[in-house]
């Protein structure tokens, strides 16, 4: 009879796990199938949360239906402890996946916003990502602490730690000062609007775009595909250039050194024609000016043009520089850069040969 009872208990465990899995699979198919056609984010969230949800369901069903009375005497306590930790881990995994699944659609919408609203969208995206990382870190720390406190020895140790919380807090604060400094620096950057994702910055003499902003470091994607990784505290302690803090629009500059004989009015008209035909120009600002007279007998021309963002401004500058160089070479070759030198006259030349 005890053998039949043991067999029935294990069959009950298997049926309980199977029922939990089948019910959860039905809910997943409903969310990812019919409801996904009306609300696509619901289907995406169901697909992302499937693995932790199934894990949590299996662990909870096992905890509820496991026949502890048929386990060996020395195995009951370890199995209970393992199931407690597994439940905490699966619940933490599920909560994190749900939070990420709920915030990802909003982040995707913010990524697609262009134009004048892009700056505010990048600010909101940066803040949401940082808050999500902070929430995930807090949830993980709480889960680890809860799992540790399921051990009696750790609970006893925790009482002693609480009794000396002042000294322990001082020691931990001194040891974690760099990490805490980076944490507060990241929050300061995000909520003071000093730095956002996709901002164009010049750091350490390098031009690039902010690719990743975490609580401990910032990744700058440089123009030549390199990545410059800096601690977050760098941006609160040292100066840096932010080209897109107020607006994404950027003014590009093209400098030309040409001969005095260059026809400035014709070149100005050609600049406007080239800009008008170039899709990278935002059709707002442009000018061509003589900005300097150089000692080597040439003049300096500066062409200014506006673009919707820094990447477009770089390409527009290259296009216009190439066009103007070719236009001067083909139509006004006498205006190409040349060096002038004063040679000695015939009298001086003859005197030198005597």
Kindly state whether residue 50 falls inside one of the protein's structural domains.
yes
Which secondary structure element, helix H or strand E, spans residue 209, and what is its range? Answer: strand 206-213
Instruction: Give the per-residue pLDDT at 156.
Output: 64
pLDDT at residue 2 greater than cutoff 50: no
Instruction: Give the per-residue pLDDT at 56.
Output: 92
**Taking the C-alpha atoms of 239, 245, 249 and 253 in order, what is their torsion angle to the nearest 10 degrees?**
-10
Instruction: Give the per-residue pLDDT at 320.
Output: 93
pLDDT at residue 7 greater than cutoff 50: yes
pLDDT tens-digit series, residues 297-320: 788 999 999 887 777 888 899 999
Please compute the mean of the pLDDT values over residues 160-178 and round it to a whole number. 50
Q: Which of 116-120, 236-240, 268-272, 280-284 has the lowest mean pLDDT?
A: 116-120
Q: Which domain holds residue 73?
A: 2-112
The pLDDT mean for the chain works out to 80
Whether 140 and 97 have beta carbons less than 8 Å apart is answered as no
pLDDT at residue 175 greater than cutoff 60: no
Q: What percent of the chain has pLDDT over 90?
A: 16
Kindly state whether residue 277 falls inside one of the protein's structural domains.
yes
Longest Cα–Cα distance in the chain: 136
What are the helix (H) ranges across the chain? 2-32, 34-38, 40-48, 50-65, 76-111, 118-148, 152-163, 165-175, 177-191, 234-237, 264-276, 310-331, 346-353
Q: Which of 112, 137, 161 is the last residue of a domain?
A: 112
Kindly state whether residue 88 falls inside one of the protein's structural domains.
yes
Bigger pLDDT: 101 vs 249 = 101
Whether 323 and 276 have beta carbons less than 8 Å apart is answered as no
Kindly state whether residue 230 falls inside one of the protein's structural domains.
no
Kindly state whether residue 22 falls inside one of the protein's structural domains.
yes
Kindly state whether residue 36 falls inside one of the protein's structural domains.
yes
Instruction: Give the per-residue pLDDT at 347.
Output: 56
Whole-structure pTM value: 0.59
The closest alpha carbon to 82, from 100, 101, 63, belongs to: 63
Instruction: Give the per-residue pLDDT at 321.
Output: 93
pLDDT at residue 283 greater than cutoff 90: no
Q: Which of 62, 80, 112 is the last residue of a domain?
A: 112
Instruction: Give the per-residue pLDDT at 165.
Output: 47
Beta bridge partners of 202: 207, 241
How many domains, in total, are found in the chain?
A: 2
Kindly state whether residue 221 falls inside one of the protein's structural domains.
no
Instruction: Give the per-residue pLDDT at 110.
Output: 75
For the domain that residue 257 is a member of, what is the CATH number? 3.30.70.100
Please compute the mean of the pLDDT values over residues 344-348 and round it to a whole number. 58
- Distance, in Å, from the CA atom of 179 to the CA atom of 331, rounded to the nearest integer, reads 62
Q: Which of 72, 90, 112 is the last residue of a domain?
A: 112
The closest alpha carbon to 56, from 152, 143, 135, belongs to: 143
Structure tokens at 78: 């370890």
pLDDT at residue 227 greater than cutoff 70: yes
pLDDT at residue 133 greater than cutoff 80: yes
Q: Which of 103-107, 109-113, 242-246, 315-319 has the lowest mean pLDDT?
A: 109-113
Please compute the mean of the pLDDT values over residues 286-294 and round it to a whole number. 89
Bigger pLDDT: 161 vs 97 = 97
């Amino acid at each position: 009879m005890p053998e039949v009872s043991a067999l029935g208990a294990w069959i009950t465990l298997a049926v309980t796990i199977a029922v939990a899995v089948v019910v959860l699979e039905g809910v997943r198919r409903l969310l990812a199938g019919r409801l996904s056609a009306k609300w696509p984010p619901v289907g995406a969230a169901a697909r992302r949360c499937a693995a932790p949800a199934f894990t949590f369901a299996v662990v909870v069903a096992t905890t509820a239906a496991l026949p502890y009375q048929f386990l060996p005497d020395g195995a009951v306590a370890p199995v209970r402890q393992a199931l407690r930790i597994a439940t905490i881990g699966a619940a933490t995994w599920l909560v994190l996946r749900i939070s990420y699944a709920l915030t990802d659609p909003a982040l995707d919408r913010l990524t697609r916003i262009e134009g004048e609203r892009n700056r505010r969208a990048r600010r909101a995206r940066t803040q949401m990502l940082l808050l999500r990382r902070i929430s995930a870190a807090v949830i993980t720390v709480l889960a680890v602490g809860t799992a540790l406190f399921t051990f009696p020895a750790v609970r006893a140790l925790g009482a002693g730690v609480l009794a000396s919380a002042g000294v322990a807090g001082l020691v931990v604060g001194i040891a974690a000062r760099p990490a805490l400094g980076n944490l507060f620096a990241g929050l300061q950057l995000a909520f003071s609007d000093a730095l956002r994702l996709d901002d164009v910055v010049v750091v350490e003499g390098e031009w690039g775009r902010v690719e990743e902003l975490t609580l401990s470091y910032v990744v700058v994607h440089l123009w030549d595909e390199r990545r410059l990784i800096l601690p977050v505290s760098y941006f609160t302690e040292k100066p840096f250039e932010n080209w897109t803090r107020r607006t994404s629009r950027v003014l590009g500059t093209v400098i030309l050194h040409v001969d005095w004989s260059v026809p400035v009015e014709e070149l100005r008209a050609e600049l406007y024609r080239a800009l008008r035909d170039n899709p990278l120009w935002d059709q707002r600002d442009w000018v061509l000016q003589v900005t300097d007279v150089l000692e080597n007998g040439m003049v300096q021309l500066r062409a200014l043009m506006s673009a919707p963002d820094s990447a477009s401004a770089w390409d527009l500058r290259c296009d216009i520089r190439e066009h103007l160089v070719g236009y001067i070479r083909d139509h006004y070759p006498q205006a190409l850069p040349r060096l002038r030198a004063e040679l000695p006259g015939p009298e001086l030349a003859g005197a030198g040969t005597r």
